[in-house]
Amino acid sequence: MIRKPRLALIGAGNMGLALASGWAEHGLIDQQGWLVIVDPAPSEAAQDFAVQNKITIVSELDKDQASLLETVVLAVKPQIMAGVAEELTQIIPQTTLIISVAAGLTLNRLRNYYGDRPLVRAMPNTPAAIGRGATAFVAPSSVDEEACTRANTLLGATGMVERVFEERAIDTVTAVSGSGPAYVFLLAEAMAAAGVAEGLDPELARKLACETVAGAGELLRQRGCDPAQLRAEVTSPGGTTAAAMDVLMGSGGFAEMMRRAVNSAARRSNQLGAQS
């Protein structure tokens, strides 16, 4: 039987493949009406994925394929979005739901490209690659419930997903969870470097720091509770953790620096959106 795709993924790079892997894992490729991937130079990983899941990768959609699409997920770099849109808008229906994961690409810009088609702007993050992403999305109020549910299902295949109702929140989402994995990696780096400065072997310091960050993250996730509560549980009054917390939570400490860092990232996201 020849299956006609109703879902298209444009761009099978890091984020595109993370999404497609999530769809495959959650049985969504069948449920959402089969998938076609568009990528002119697919990586080996993309080709392997396609073979394993019996999916076609094409360098461009033909009119026949495009006319049946109910959902198009855009996972290409923001700078090539205009060219992609120019080709797509010639051949996809007016009713096709467009989901963009491109950083900084505003709904306004997407509307310029795709007109009145239903639009969703999403911000995922890199742990999506292992099904542990954190994504938020925004859609104009004109996008109906069914389309929002579809977007929620597709984006949720890589981890948690939440809808926000004001687009400016996406700048803050970008600054908290989009860029957030880098803050956590920096934390591991800084802990390891501090251990080395106190005399630990560099390899041991790296292993201890990485496992601590990963293990503490997992504990936080499994307990599903407030991080402040977990922190309090490991901080005995007058103990070693308390001595460290006095430094980290003091004036100009970790919380204040994070506040400045997130503010700076959110402002940058807003600037990039204005330039897009």
Ligand X SMILES: NC(=O)c1ccc[n+]([C@@H]2O[C@H](COP(=O)([O-])OP(=O)(O)OC[C@H]3O[C@@H](n4cnc5c(N)ncnc54)[C@H](OP(=O)(O)O)[C@@H]3O)[C@@H](O)[C@H]2O)c1
Q: For binding to ligand X (CB under 6 A), which residues are involved?
A: 10-16, 38-41, 75-78, 80, 84, 101-103, 123-126, 178
Question: Which residue, 85 or 205, is less far from ligand X as judged by CB?
Answer: 85
Query: How near is the Cβ of 129 to ligand X at its closest, in Å?
Result: 8
- Nearest position to ligand X, beta carbon: 13
Question: Which residue, 78 or 131, is less far from ligand X as judged by CB?
Answer: 78
Spatial contact of 233 and 216, defined as CB atoms under 8 Å apart: no
Distance CA 123, CA 238 (A): 42
Question: Which residue, 44 or 145, is less far from ligand X as judged by CB?
Answer: 44
Query: How near is the Cβ of 135 to ligand X at its closest, in Å?
Result: 9
Question: Which residue, 10 or 139, is less far from ligand X as judged by CB?
Answer: 10
Query: How near is the Cβ of 196 to ligand X at its closest, in Å?
Result: 29
Query: How near is the Cβ of 90 to ligand X at its closest, in Å?
Result: 14
